[in-house]
Every structure is written in structure tokens, then in C-alpha cells.
Amino acid sequence: MRILMVEDARDLAEGVIAHLARSGVVCDLAPTINDARDCRAVQRYDAIILDINLPDGSGLTLLREMRAQADRTPILMLTALASIDDRVEALDQGADDYLRKPFDQRELEARLRALVRRETDRREEQVTLGALTYLPKDRSATLNDRQLDLTRREAALLDALIRHQGQYLSKTRLYDSLYGFEDADVGVNAIELYIARLRKKFAGSDVGIATQRGVGYRIGLND
């Protein structure tokens, strides 16, 4: 799962990012609305944590923009504003949930997972590819009716490949699904390691990951 947090309070944001990372959630930080626009221009997110009071305006501006573009990415509003009217306005504008500061990190994570799970359930409950069955809501998979033991990186990679069946995904695109902007010390070639691990888990089945040199990787049925 990859999250965008639009928040200018650096200490608060870093605490959230560190907490989510321990649960295998990648979280990018945008301290302003314009930074958030730049992030969204190059990356797709499973959910967005959006503060209302930001240095370059109200987070509601970004919320309205996204909904006007028919972007249904789940949005959790995060703010110190206590007014009922503020909360009602955010929800009326298209926010999916609302959490007041200060908050418990566990509640924030639980709300995020609930939002992402709700959106995932709405789209698809299960994906089947030959002997492979994949459940998006908890990123679990079975192969020939046996549970696959996946690390969180392997699960994130499989999720990206499964969601784009039939398409070749470049190393860079897959890398963006596994790592945040803060993971600059991890090279894009790390993807090759996780591809090799998944291929080993698929060995002997009718599912494989094809490589097209200079293009990327694609999951599908073996010929």
C-alpha cells in the first residue's frame, strides 16, 4: 500500500511515516498543495491523508480538484479544526473520513486500511490466474490451493503485476510500487531480486513472469 500524506508539520508527518513503514506501508510526504500535485502527477496512491490548513491554501482545494477529475482515491482529512461545520464541509466535498489532531497512530492506520479495503472490495474481491488466486484486500495469494508465504515487498510486487495483467511494467514503475521517495539508497535493480523470488515460488505451476528486455515484466500463464 502506498499513501500520500499532505501535511506541513514535519515532526508529525515523520512520526506517521515511521509508524506506517513498520506495517509495510510506503508513505510519501508533500508539505504543500503544489507538492501534492507534483506527487500525484508521477505516482498513483491507494489513499491520501490530507490536512486542511496548509502553507499555500486549504486542503479542501485539492480535495475538490480530485473529485472534479472523477478521482476516487480514498481521502482521510486530518486537521486540528474542531468545528462540526468544518467536518461536514470536508465530507460534503467528497472526503471519505475525518480524523482530528491529536490522534493515536493506531487509529490512523486502522482508518486508512478500512478506507483502502472498502475501495478494493468495491473494485474486486478476488483475482484468479490459472492456479494462482490473489486477494487484493489483504495481499494474500494461494497457488494450487496452497498459501504462498510472501514478504511485504513480494506481496507489493505481486499486487502491481496482478493489477496490470497482460501489460509489461518497467522496473521503474514496479520500484515506485515498493519504495517511497525517501528510499533513495535502494536501487531500482532491487526489483530483479524480488522478481526472482516470485518466480521461484511459482516454479512448477502454470503461472510465470515474462521479461521483455528494455520494456519490463509481465505476469501471465506459461505457454
Q: Letter for the amino acid at 205?
A: S
Look at residue 120 in the predicted model and tell me its pLDDT. Answer: 66
Of 135, 43, 84, the closest CA to residue 27 belongs to 43
Closest by CA to 141, choosing from 76, 85, 219, 211, is 219
Domain end residue (candidates: 122, 152, 186): 122
* pLDDT above 70 (res 185): no
What are the φ and ψ backbone dihedral angles of 195, each rounded to 5 degrees? -60, -45
Q: How many domains does the chain have?
A: 2
What are the pLDDT digits (tens) for 70-129? Answer: 788 999 998 776 567 777 788 888 889 988 888 899 999 999 988 887 776 666 668 889
* Same-domain pairing of 107 and 33: yes
In this structure, what CATH number is given to the domain that contains residue 12? 3.40.50.2300
| Claim to verify: residue 114 and residue 143 sit in the same structural domain | no
pLDDT one-digit tens code per residue, 131-156: 999 987 778 899 998 999 998 889 88
Using alpha carbons, select from 51, 103, 97 the residue that is nearest to residue 74.
97
Give yes or no: residues 70 and 162 share one domain: no
pTM: 0.59
pLDDT at 164: 81
Q: Give me the amino acid identity at 112.
A: L
Predicted local distance difference test score (pLDDT) of residue 11: 93
> CA-to-CA distance for 46 and 159, rounded, in angstroms?
12
pLDDT tens readout for residues 23-78 = 888 999 999 999 999 999 888 898 999 999 899 999 999 999 988 777 889 999 98
Query: Can you tell me the distance from the alpha carbon of 187 to that of 169, in angstroms, rounded to the nearest whole number?
Result: 17
Residue 13 reports pLDDT greater than 90: yes
Q: Are 159 and 168 in contact (CB under 8 A)?
A: no
One domain, residues 27 and 131: no
CATH of the domain at 162: 1.10.10.10
Mark whether 12 and 89 lie in a shared domain. yes
Give the span between the Cα atoms of 150 and 156, in whole angstroms.
Answer: 9
Domain boundary among 88, 122, 156: 122
Do both 174 and 136 map to the same domain?
A: yes
**Residue ranges making up the domain that contains 20:** 2-122
Compute CA distances 62 → 8, 72, 123, whole Å. Answer: 15, 13, 24
What mean pLDDT comes out for the span 12-17? 94
